[in-house]
Amino acid sequence: MEYFLELFLGGLTRGSIYALIALGYTMVYGIIQLINFAHGEIYMIGAFTALIVANVLTLNGMQGIAVLVIAAVAALVWSSAYGYTVEKIAYKPLRDAPRLSPLISAIGMSIFLQNYVLLAQTSDFVSFPSLIPDFAFMDPVAHIMSSAELVIVATTVVVMILLNLLIKYTRMGKAMRATAQDKTMAVLSGVNVNRVISTTFVIGSALAAVGGVLIASHIGQINFFIGFIAGIKAFTAAVLGGIGSIPGAALGGLVLGLTESFATGYVSSDYEDVFAFVLLVLILIFRPAGILGRSTTQKV
């Protein structure tokens, strides 16, 4: 039972991270129908920025929660900036191109960013300081759930609620929903679509950065390649829940995280990544619209 609970909580943590990254995919896909392949790289850059900033601060004698906050804010700022810039360079000139073009451009961007970090930083795994402190009140259950895991799950829940409020009640949220439904109509009603798209990229990237900082500080090491596998899995999560749907991304992330956790715990840990891919292939074949997605017929 305890093993089960441990796997369950591990899956919950994993799923939260997937969900945070998946939101970026799903929001961008909802608005411009593009699989933003470079999204995983934004997450990786977020983790790297946090690492660099945290290391510089610690070496200058700073300690405690302040380091975590400053590093996280830096990761947010720079990830968003990267997301914004990537959109301007690689996707905006291709707004009206055939669908294959932005996709290939996105793959190119992803390779570029990976190797940019590889060349500018290092190809090795670097150890990430565990920024999240251990809470005293978690001691009795620490063998099942660590403080870091609690922080990850809690942050994810809070971020999800905030995002939902943003989408539902603000002007920008309304504009986003309008753009997702019908871009031309949104332009005609006076929505600045370019700004909406930029904002979507910024928000998505910021969420990815949150995920990046949390998971890096939980797992304890990062390298330039972490974005790739995380990106694929988050995308799986987004598809699983129904791409374009925000609650879907959250649900998809949880389902994927739990599946992986139980599959590696009870079946075999060698095939950890295979489970995600098999799940992805199965979902796309049997229910391409995802759990919460509505299937739409594509018109010409």
32 counts as binding other proteins under rule CB under 8 A: no
Least CB distance to other proteins at residue 109 (A): 5
Q: Is 94 in the site for other proteins (CB under 8 A)?
A: yes
Binding to other proteins by CB under 8 A, coded x per residue (else -) over 187-226, reads ----------------------------------------
141 binds other proteins (CB under 8 A): no
Candidates 55-63, 169-177, 210-218, 245-253; binding stretch for other proteins (CB under 8 A): 55-63
Question: Does 155 help bind other proteins (rule: CB under 8 A)?
Answer: no
Q: Is 273 in the site for other proteins (CB under 8 A)?
A: yes
CA atoms within 13 A on the CB side of 123: 2
Q: Does 127 bind other proteins (CB under 8 A)?
A: yes
Interface with other proteins (CB under 8 A), residue from 232, 247, 258, 287? 232
Contact region with other proteins (CB under 8 A), list: 31-39, 133-141, 184-192, 196-204: 31-39
Among 3, 4, 93, 267, binds other proteins (CB under 8 A): 93
**Least distance to other proteins from the beta carbon of 22, Å?**
13
277 binds other proteins (CB under 8 A): yes
**Using CB under 8 A, which of 6, 70, 112, 187 touches other proteins?**
112
Question: Across-strand partners of 222?
Answer: 126
Question: In this structure, what is the dihedral angle of CA atoms 245, 251, 257, 258, given to the nearest 10 degrees?
Answer: -160
One residue of 121, 130, 164, 198 binding other proteins per CB under 8 A: 121
In the complex, the residues that contact other proteins under the rule CB under 8 A are 33-35, 45, 48-49, 51-53, 55-56, 59, 74, 78, 81-82, 85, 89-90, 93-94, 97-105, 107-122, 126-127, 228, 232, 235-236, 239, 270-271, 273-274, 277-278, 280-281, 284-285, 288, 298, 300
